[in-house]
Structure 1
Amino acid sequence: MALDPSDLIPDVRDGLTRVERIVLHTLHQLQQERGGRNVPTAMLYGYVVEHVNLSPDEFQRILGRLVGRQSP
């Protein structure tokens, strides 16, 4: 199952794609469950792929963009 092209279109309100929003929402949920502690990347990836089909490379690219370490 590949990503739908519409999943990669930035939202006009904040510039986030659907996939980026899923990553951030999942990260927030896991941080709350862990009492505010950091979430390991592998754990985050495991939970994100329950919602959207991403390769590890795509996931790393999205994380890099969200933290500002990579250009779009």
Structure 2
Amino acid sequence: MSPQELETLLETIPDARDGLTRTERIILYVLRETQRELNGRNVPTVMLYGRVVEHVNISEAELHVYLDRLGVRK
């Protein structure tokens, strides 16, 4: 198995501790940090996307799917 295939596999398998994938955990971490910067206000999706893309290579549509799955979106 190539390193790239292993990385992809590790990003899609949920962690046994909490059931979150690496990408989901990054999204939640970035969301929390951004909310702190904004003094608890809601984080615009485009702002969140810009910050998440610095850590994970996902499309905007994929981010929306993750947010729906995590129950973050209204």
Fold match (TM-score > 0.5): yes
| 38 and 68 in structure 1: CA distance in 2 versus 1, 3 angstrom threshold | closer
TM-score by length of 1: 0.86
**Following superposition, which runs of at least 4 residues in structure 1 exceed 3 angstroms of deviation?**
none
Structure 2 residue 18 is matched with structure 1 residue 14 = yes
Percent of pairs with identical residues:
57
Length, aligned pairs only? 67
Instruction: Give structure 1 stretches of 5+ with no counterpart.
Output: none
| SS of match in other structure, 1:35 | coil
How big is the shift at 1:35?
0.6
Q: Which residue of 1 aligns with 2:4?
A: none
Which residue identity lines up with residue 24 of structure 1 in the other structure?
Answer: L
Aligned mates of 1:49, 1:5 — CA distance in 2: 19
Q: Per chain length, whose mean CA-contact separation is higher, i.e. which structure has more relative contact order (CA < 8 Å, sep 6+)?
A: 1
Instruction: Give structure 2 stretches of 5+ with no counterpart.
Output: 1-6
Structure 2 residue 62 is matched with structure 1 residue 58 = yes
TM-score by length of 2: 0.84
1:33-44 alignment to 2 at 5 Å?
33-44=37-48
What is the RMSD computed on CA atoms of the aligned residues? 1.6
**Larger helix proportion, structure 1 or 2?**
2
Structure 2 residue 31 is matched with structure 1 residue 27 = yes
How big is the shift at 1:68?
7.5
